[in-house]
């Protein structure tokens, strides 16, 4: 089965990258700009939603499951890897 992770609103990521480069204001982007990601299967059904929670210093994420899924382990491991890369990015 084909699964993909896509951003819910790509413009949030663009604004986060642009505003994050401004010296003082960039510190507050973690609280204002909160992207979310959808895990979508081959038929276009959203199976999971990963949301970044507002926070000033740390990056916290929540994972919501939609329905009963059979490939839970592979999906969750992929999302953990993506979260670790996002946290490292800043």
Q: Is the pLDDT of residue 53 over 80?
A: yes
Q: Which residues contact 59 (CB under 8 A, 6 or more apart)?
A: 30, 52, 83, 86, 87
What mean pLDDT, rounded, does the chain reach?
A: 80
The C-alpha atoms of residue 20 and residue 64 are separated, in whole angstroms, by: 27
At residue 51, the pLDDT reads: 87
pTM for the model: 0.72
Domain positions in the chain? 3-89
d(CA 20, CA 9): 17
Calculate Rg over the CA atoms of the chain.
Answer: 14
Burial class (CB within 10 angstroms; exposed 0-12, middle 13-18, buried 19+) of 57: exposed
- Mean pLDDT lowest among 1-5, 23-27, 35-39, 77-81: 23-27
Nearest to 29 by CA among 19, 38, 37: 19
pLDDT at 58: 64
């Amino acid at each position: 089965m084909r699964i993909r992770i896509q951003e819910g609103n790509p413009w949030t990521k663009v604004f986060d990258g642009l505003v994050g480069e401004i010296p003082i204001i960039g510190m507050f982007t973690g609280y204002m700009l909160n992207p979310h990601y959808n895990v979508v299967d081959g038929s276009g059904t959203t199976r999971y939603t990963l949301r970044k929670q507002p926070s000033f210093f740390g990056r916290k994420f929540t994972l919501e499951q939609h329905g009963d899924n059979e490939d839970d382990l592979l999906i969750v491991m992929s999302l953990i890897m993506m979260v670790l890369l996002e946290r490292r990015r800043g």
